[in-house]
Amino acid sequence: ATAATIVSGAVAERIKLSSFMVFATIYVAISYPLTGSWKWGGGWLQMMQTPFYDFAGSTIVHSVGGWGALAGALLLGPRMGKYTADGRVRPILPSNMPMATIGVFLLWLGWFGFNGGSVLSADPNLVSLTLVTTCLAAAAGAIGAMATSWVVLKKPDLSMALNGILAGLVGITAGADQMAALSAILIGLIAGTIVVFSVLFFDKIKIDDPVGAISVHLVCGTWGTLAVGIFGGLAGGAQLVSQLIGIASVGIFSFVFAFILFSIIKPTMGLRVTQE
């Protein structure tokens, strides 16, 4: 469900509901279980000499959704009026920032289930560690994004801070059971910084992503998966190589699958709603 809803954010305000539902059903029924089984089903990523590590899915869930979102946004095109004829980016402002803020806080709370539940037992030490690292990364992500947006955009930006919270959460998900408190804070801070530059980058290359889903889930999911090989109990060169192999293999498969699927839906059902 998470992998599907990530895609919905990047194609929001212009995709046909029926077309999206067909995509989401097939993507989650076929592509997601296949790549997930490579690690969580005891597949080849788990059987490597140094196994790929992704505790709760920075790559297996979040970047899978992010790759699908990127494919959808590319084939769907931008919202009407997003980019002007002379190439400028026209911001389409959110209609209800308090509601967006409440939504992000609900996600923050839900992530305690997403990561804490991924321990798959009631072990008090491991569950407690996972909840603490999750919360610290989220808080650090908010601070990182707010500070970065203040420097880059000359004012602290609420929407960037909210995406910073999610960036920190996505970033810690791969190694939430491995990290010390300070490592979790660093991972969140870096994710919060990365997400600001990523949102601006995708706008610059004219890929319209209304909620920053690609930046939060694909870019910061990749960062969080790499962070397992840099921080925590599994840090080391061999682990970093395994993380890169996992990121690349899952990413290539997911993007190609999503792109082909959207390419089939586009001429048959149509992707965009009418202008009216």
Q: How confident is the model at residue 73 (pLDDT cuts 50, 70, 90)?
A: very high
Per-residue pLDDT reduced to its tens digit, 160-183: 999 999 999 999 999 999 999 999
Number of Cβ atoms within 10 Å of the Cβ of 109: 9
Give the pLDDT of residue 85. Answer: 85
Give the pLDDT of residue 200. Answer: 96
- One-letter amino acid at 272 equals R
- For the segment 236-264, the average pLDDT, to the nearest whole number, is 98
The answer, yes or no, to whether residue 216 has pLDDT greater than 90, is yes
| Percent of the chain topping pLDDT 70 | 100
Give the pLDDT of residue 41. Answer: 96
The answer, yes or no, to whether residue 233 has pLDDT greater than 90, is no
Give the pLDDT of residue 218. Answer: 98
Give the pLDDT of residue 220. Answer: 98
Compute CA distances 42 → 39, 45, 48, 227, whole Å: 6, 8, 10, 22
Average pLDDT score, the chain: 96
Please report, in angstroms and rounded to a whole number, the separation of the first and last CA atoms in the chain.
30
Q: How confident is the model at residue 15 (pLDDT cuts 50, 70, 90)?
A: very high
The span from the CA of 234 to the CA of 49, in Å, is 13
The answer, yes or no, to whether residue 87 has pLDDT greater than 90, is no
Compute CA distances 171 → 74, 87, 165, whole Å: 24, 33, 10
Per-residue pLDDT reduced to its tens digit, 104-140: 999 999 999 999 999 999 999 999 999 999 999 999 9
